[in-house]
Structure 1
Amino acid sequence: MITDAQGQALSGATREAAHHFDQAVTAFNLYRGDPIAALDTALALAPRFAMAALLKAHLMAVATEPAATQAARGLLATVACWPLNDRERSHLAAATRILDGEWSSAAVLLDRHHVEYPFDIVALQVGHLVDFFRANARSLRDRIARTLPQWSADTPGHGVLLGMLAFGLEECGQYAQAEDTGHAALQAEPRDCWAHHAVAHVMEMQARHEDGIDWARVREPHWSGADNFFQVHNWWHRALCHLEIGEADEALSLYDGPIRASRSAVAVDMVDASALLWRLHLGGYAPGERWNELATAWDAHADGGSYAFNDWHAAMAWLGAGREAEVRALEARLRHAGERGEATRWAAETGADLVAGFAAFWQGDFERAIECLWRARPIVNRFGGSHAQRDVIDWTLSEAALRGGQRGWAEALAHERMAQRPDSGMNRVFLRRALALAPVGQTEQPARQAA
């Protein structure tokens, strides 16, 4: 019987094809190299190699890009006609649910899958990404925590699971444990950029921005290579640290360099680019022509039907580029996405308000921005990345309150941010600005001093 590196049976494989499959899995685990190329080689050697085709479909499904989604659907239709074992049929069912936009249903299928196949590292990582895209912090942690004790330290991929657990712990606010677990993962596999990024998240959430910059610099050779799929996101984390300590020029330099110099058309890279330009805009910096290039790059992805988190980031770029009519059309598509599945409900219930709120902010309609963004805040339990990524919602909401002269809202939101990150210089600035606003119905009142 031909198996993968963790001992799982591989239907339709040859030994040579299985070797290329293991290379693809390692590339996927570390987000470096080209797993699709390795899988194509495996399929050329063994044309009905089920897990090679299923992993390829998973990779396209979690890309959250319309063209990749269509290609994955075609591939799964072919694989469904092949002889599959029970584990592979479970993969087929989960991938199908993802492509149907039923992310939470896919997550539940994978929960059950891990009980039966605890050493299936592909399923564990796909499940972890599904939890990330649906913003389920508990599952990010517990999916791995339930399974990891069955793995010995010498099982191939054990360190990769530690990196995933570190991120889940961070998203659940268990920062000390997350940082320790991330370091353990990197001791096992220094190239694990997901583990590196988990520690970067801890530093962001604890407002340890100088530490975050040092962490990125010291470990840069391990995560910044051109073959690293996740390097743009880790550069983005460093840029956020620079923004927080008032080094906007450095953040802009990183945008023009490793974040956007390659003009990547990959959705996750463009999300980071949009989010950074928007934050710079909020800070009073004019991104200028950078908006136009990025807005054009989004045209192939923002369809109002695939993944609303991406559509919302496309709207940021379109607003910056002056394409407000397209933003209005996108909002309408999102708001009328219907009830075809979980992803369309995300679009209608949250995505539309995010787009509308950011558009209102851009146009100076701060009262409407507050109304829309306040409704959209439950995104934390619906869809869309990490706490750090979603913070741009609350930042924009706070700026809307400040610029709109809404003293009550501005002060309340500043206190909320201070409770979460009391050591953040930016949060202290929010509070000082809020307290400097004239209270409603009064022209002047001595401002209390912010901490």
Structure 2
Amino acid sequence: MNEEYFHLPITTISPPAASAIHAFAEELLSHGAGAKIIFDAVAEDRECALGHAYAAAVFLTQMTCEGQAQAAPHIAAALDNNALCSEREKGTIDAIAAWGCGDERSAISSLRRVVECAPHDLVAAKLCQILELSKGDIIGMLRTSGMAASVEGRSGYALGLHAFALEQAGHAELAVRFARRAIDINPDRDPWAQHALAHALLAMEQPVEARAFLHSVSQSWDRCSSFMLTHNWWHLALIELELGNKAAALALFDDRVWGQRKGHAQDQINAISLLFRLEMQGVRPAARWDEIAIYVEGRVTDRVNGFLDLHYLITLLKSGRTDAATRLTQLLQRDRVAGATANAIQSYSAENFREAAAALAPVCHHLSELGGSNVQRELFESIFVDSVQRSRCQTVSSAHDYSRVAA
């Protein structure tokens, strides 16, 4: 953890609570599996408002209705006990309270103000990047991480945050420089910087180099949180697929992406995205869709995140759960881009490729509004491209059939 963070005030009567908060910060920034240590903080000091706010954030990152419900009492406790808190703490608490109410824009604004006033607060910077990515706010992400990276260099975590933002904004070569510096500082505890470097190398059309690098650091992922563990293996599987190694990509799906941990929403969308891309390239998924559907079919009415919902929709359609898929598609119509994408997925699944292309065409340049990284959104772009190609083939085939009948 960067040393300056230790000097930021924490309002608590308990040194063990403060220690648990510092440990949580390290786990969050290093994507470790031990973020639940934050609950030790609230156990040590029931009136520690910042501890309660961070505990709520752990639940909110689950991106489920259950997570929101579990976060609510911690948000209430944080708000009840914030009278003596510093402005930095109050800003963080306000942000997480807004996040818990579904107001991610207000949460982002509050966290940015925290980073502006306390750029060493990398917890605020990290949480802000999570939300900025969810809202597709790449320019904001670049600004927030830039503030943190401009002053923090001891741990390298801010450099990794900024590297990812740079790559998403189209500055791949500069992203490589920031990511490599972050990894030099912290070679085996910054999987986000490793992930950013892989993104940048792929953007520079160096998939072989990206694959070699990710394999070289893969042993360090065993300590990672569920999302980061499966997500970096997901990237490796996509690289194998890009290089034409379908069998290797499928093996990674079974052993590393879906075969590891299955309960978190991010694990599920990693699996869904990879399996759908494999199927688009002619790989038969066998019963894999049914297994994923068991985990996601209860999420139809969650409506926590449209980006996740679109992945759930794919699974419902591929597993034959058409009623649930229709219901989810209807719910997604409340948002123009998500609704159009859902309609396209429905049409694509039914092999109505012309309708799928027509549904996606008006929103193709707005897919960033769905959130997710540029590589994640390529899934929807691939549906559009494949639909256009297949609709042309269908048109040619229909014309050929008509000419034969006319003759």
- Structure 2 letter corresponding to 1:402: Q
* 1:94 to 1:219, Cα distance in 2 relative to 1, 3 A: same
1:225: Cα distance to partner? Answer: 4.0
1:24 aligns with 2:24: yes
Letter in 1 for 2:390: R
Report the counterpart of residue 404 of structure 2 in structure 1. none
- Assess, with a 3 A threshold, how the Cα gap between structure 1 residues 229 and 365 changes in structure 2: closer, same or farther: closer
The alignment partner of 1:147 has SS state of helix
Q: Deviations over 1:31-73 (max 9, x none)?
A: 112212x111121111111211111112222332111112112
State the match for 2:10 in structure 1.
Answer: 10
Aligned 1:191-270 pairs, distance under 5 A? 191-225=189-223, 229-270=227-268
**Which residue identity is paired with 1:43?**
V
Residue 405 of structure 2 corresponds to which residue in structure 1? none
Q: CA deviation at 1:352?
A: 2.0
Shift of 1:406: 6.2
Deviating more after overlay: 360-369 vs 78-87: 78-87
Deviation at 1:189, TM superposition (A): 1.1
Q: Distance in 2 between matches of 1:207 and 1:225?
A: 29
What one-letter code is carried by the residue in structure 2 that aligns with 1:405?
A: R
Give the 3 Å change call, closer, same or farther, for CA 103–377 of structure 1 in structure 2.
farther
User: What does residue range 281-300 of structure 1 map to in structure 2 within 5 Å?
Assistant: 281-300=279-298
Q: Greater helix percent: which structure?
A: 2
What is the rounded CA distance, in whole Å, between the counterparts of 1:315 and 1:369 in structure 2? 15
Structure 2 partner of 1:69: 68
* 1:327-342 paired onto structure 2 within 5 Å: 327-335=325-333, 337=334
1:177 pairs with 2:174: yes
| Structure-2 separation of matches of 1:306 and 1:31 | 22
Q: Does 1:108 align with 2:105?
A: no
SS of 2:102 mapped into structure 1: coil
Structure 2 match to 1:427 = none
1-side partners of 2:148 and 2:398: how far apart?
A: 55
Shift of residue 351, structure 1, vs aligned partner: 1.8
Q: CA deviation at 1:439?
A: 11
Corresponding position: 1:303 with 2:301: yes
Unaligned runs of 5+ in 2: 402-407
Conserved? CA contact 2:42–2:51, under 8 Å: yes
Task: State the partner residue of 1:186.
Answer: 183
Counterpart AA for 2:359: C
Query: Does the CA contact (< 8 Å) of 2:337 and 2:366 recur in 1?
Result: yes
In the other structure, the counterpart of 1:404 is 391
C-alpha separation in 1, matches of 2:223 and 2:384: 36
Q: Residue 227 of structure 1: CA displacement?
A: 5.4
TM-score (norm 1): 0.83
- Measured against aligned partners, the alpha-carbon deviations of 1:263-285 in whole angstroms (never above 9, x if no partner) come to 51100111110000110111111
Mapped contact 1:178–1:202 kept (Cα < 8 A) = yes
Task: Return the letter of the residue paired with 2:347.
Answer: A
How much does 1:147 deviate? 3.4
**CA separation of 1:243 and 1:286: change in aligned 2, threshold 3 A:** same
8 Å CA contact 1:32–1:229 kept in 2: the answer is no
- The unaligned stretches of length 5 or more in structure 1 are 338-347, 408-436, 444-451
Deviation at 1:232, TM superposition (A): 0.3
Q: Quick one: which amino acid aligns to residue 139 of structure 2?
A: R
Query: Does the residue aligned with 1:287 lie in a helix, a strand or coil?
Result: coil
Shift of 1:174: 0.7
**Which stretch shifts more, 287-296 or 4-13?**
4-13
Structure 2 SS opposite 1:270:
helix
**Higher mean displacement: 25-34 or 55-64:** 55-64
Q: In the alignment, residue 192 of structure 1 is paired with which amino acid?
A: D
Confirm or deny: 8 A CA contact 2:317 2:346 kept in the other structure.
yes
CA distance in 2, matches of 1:277, 1:216: 20
**Equivalent residue number for residue 362 of structure 2:** 375
Match of 2:160 among 152, 159, 163: 163
Aligned to 1:324: 322
Bigger mean CA offset, 304-313 vs 107-116: 107-116
Give the direction of change, closer, same or farther, for the CA distance of 1:54–1:261 in structure 2 (3 Å limit).
Answer: same
Residues 205 and 388 in structure 1, CA contact (< 8 A), matched pair in contact too? no
Q: 1:66 and 1:258 mapped to 2: Cα distance? A: 27
Match of 1:92 in 2: 93
Letter in 1 for 2:354: E
CA RMSD of aligned residues (A): 2.2
Count of residues in Structure 1 that have an aligned counterpart in Structure 2: 396
- Percent identical pairs in the alignment equals 22
Give yes or no for the alignment of 1:349 onto 2:349: no
- Corresponding letter in the other structure for 2:181: A
Supply the AA of the counterpart residue of 1:366.
F
Q: How does 1:410-421 map to 2 (within 5 A)?
A: none
Q: Contact between 2:49 and 2:78, CA under 8 Å: does it hold in 1? A: yes
Cα separation, partners in 2 of 1:209 and 1:222, compared to 1, 3 Å: same
Kept in 2, the 8 Å contact 1:27–1:34? The answer is: yes
Alpha-carbon separation, structure 2, partners of 1:311 and 1:228: 19
Secondary structure in structure 1 of the residue aligned to 2:112: helix
Q: For the structure 1 residues 298 and 142, does the alpha-carbon distance in structure 2 shift closer, same or farther, using more than 3 Å as the test?
A: same
Moved more, 216-225 or 43-52: 216-225
